[in-house]
Chain A
């Protein structure tokens, strides 16, 4: 089971898109998993032949547990399938890697299995439990001191709490793979990730006003010349500028894990998308710095459509290297975001506001954007963070570069 975000503890398996003996290509969607953030199409990150499908529909599987065996090139999938033992019991630790590959999240562990919310060490009752699991325990009326952890962190997970609740009460057989309350589940997931962020990440915050008049005028001219379907939004131009500015400050783009910083493999911007009816997802747009504005707009539209219809892909969920939140549409001038662990920075973009601006000694009206940076002080300092905002400003004054 891949980790589809730092706040994920487990996923409920929905269905396979494949059968034993079938050849699969890297990046192919091979199954669907229901998470707190909706149904996610899981892509395989290794080519090979499906040998044995272990996960069954409706099964709740902890992050890191085996879902399938895949024969790589030169291996006999039938032999692997025959040699594979019965599926490990629920909640068992991940077995030693067999000769074949399990289904990994992504080759580079953008969000490793060990990134499940870390336990709070010293709660009054001295129980190691994730915040989301504690909340679930409260909902279910489970005494957390009676719950045994099953995962590799020896911390109580949501699954442990739910198991304890089922043991206490006669089980109600779930008929569908969908969790009973998606809204509450998503709230819990956000709570767990954000609590962890504020507990572990020493944030620092910077803000800068950027005169966006030149960039907007350029964009308006561009949009006049193209059909409505090819119009680009200022938000897309902003994303491109953020991605290019990150080239100057790579220490803002990546992950802080196991006590050290690992730079991201590309500019994979997590785009914060609020969902109708509540909740939030921040799936990745990949390699934004290398996309043309037109391509970026197409990809962004597609990402929004799939996010809102609950059809995101595993790679989008697991590998954003930085998050961008754009609350400009909601009318706020400035947004200081909370970093999404294990990322190390978040860029906040506010509403464009007409303001007086001094250019060459004269006051001129212009649409001004408040850009902010929340960054992890373990990895970068204010000087470097400031450098990013200065670069963002410089790029927005030369919108032709962003095309």
Chain B
């Protein structure tokens, strides 16, 4: 079963909203570091990854945190991971 880019993006945004409910994604620049824009600290980030793991089954190792900087970059990375199965 393949997951579309939009679905992955939606899932990621839902996971972010779970820790930062006030986040307004119409104002988030998808090509800029998302954590800076939404004041997401390392605890929030870990929580988001845990939600993401439950939701789409991708376990992001610490060594890949560098690929989860911007919203666009994160979606690219997650799509890649999903296609690898």
| Bound: A300/B59 CA distance, A | 22
Q: Is B42 an interface residue (CB 8 A)?
A: yes
Pair B46/A231 contact, Cβ less than 8 Å: yes
Q: Is B43 an interface residue (CB 8 A)?
A: yes
Which residues of B are found within 8 Å of A228, using beta-carbon distances? 46, 49-50, 53, 59-60
Place the interface of chain A in its size category: 10 to 19
Q: Is B61 an interface residue (CB 8 A)?
A: yes
Q: Is A276 an interface residue (CB 8 A)?
A: yes
Q: Is B31 an interface residue (CB 8 A)?
A: no
Q: Is B41 an interface residue (CB 8 A)?
A: yes
Pair A277/B22 contact, Cβ less than 8 Å: yes
Which residues of A are found within 8 Å of B53, using beta-carbon distances? 228
| Bound: A224/B59 CA distance, A | 11
For residue A331, which residue of chain B has the nearest CB? B36
Overall SS of chain A's interface: helix
Pair A220/B62 contact, Cβ less than 8 Å: yes
Listed residue (B36, B41, B61) with the most chain A CB atoms within 10 angstroms of its CB: B41
| Bound: A229/B49 CA distance, A | 9
Listed residue (B20, B47, B49, B62) with the most chain A CB atoms within 10 angstroms of its CB: B62
Closest-CB distance, B67 to chain A (whole angstroms): 16
Pair A235/B42 contact, Cβ less than 8 Å: yes
A-facing residues in B2-42 (Cβ within 8 Å): 20-22, 36, 39, 41-42
Q: Is A299 an interface residue (CB 8 A)?
A: no
Pair A276/B22 contact, Cβ less than 8 Å: yes
B46's partner among A233, A274, A331 (CB-CB below 8 A) is A233
A233's partner among B39, B43, B60, B61 (CB-CB below 8 A) is B43
For residue A223, which residue of chain B has the nearest CB? B62
Q: Is A200 an interface residue (CB 8 A)?
A: no
Q: Is A304 an interface residue (CB 8 A)?
A: yes
Q: Is B83 an interface residue (CB 8 A)?
A: no
Overall SS of chain B's interface: helix
| Bound: A235/B42 CA distance, A | 8
Which residues of B are found within 8 Å of A329, using beta-carbon distances? 41-42
For residue A229, which residue of chain B has the nearest CB? B50
Which residues of A are found within 8 Å of B43, using beta-carbon distances? 233, 235, 300-301, 304
Closest-CB distance, A280 to chain B (whole angstroms): 13
Give per-residue flags for A197-211: 1 if the beta carbon is below 8 A from chain B beta carbons, else 0. Answer: 000000000000000
| Bound: A231/B63 CA distance, A | 13
For residue B59, which residue of chain A has the nearest CB? A228
B-facing residues in A277-307 (Cβ within 8 Å): 277, 300-301, 304
**Could you list which residues of chain A lie within 8 angstroms of chain B, going by C-beta atoms?**
220, 223-224, 227-229, 231, 233-235, 274, 276-277, 300-301, 304, 329-331
- Knowing that A233-B46, A331-B36 are A-B contacts, what are 9 other residue pairs whose CB atoms are under 8 Å apart, sorted by A's residue number? A224-B63, A227-B59, A228-B46, A228-B53, A231-B46, A233-B42, A235-B43, A276-B21, A300-B43
Q: Top 3 A-B pairs ranked by shortest CB distance?
A: A329-B41, A228-B53, A233-B42
Q: List 23 A-B contacts (CB under 8 A).
A: A223-B62, A224-B62, A224-B63, A227-B59, A228-B49, A228-B50, A228-B53, A228-B59, A228-B60, A229-B50, A233-B42, A233-B43, A233-B46, A234-B42, A235-B43, A276-B20, A276-B22, A277-B22, A300-B43, A301-B47, A304-B43, A329-B41, A331-B36
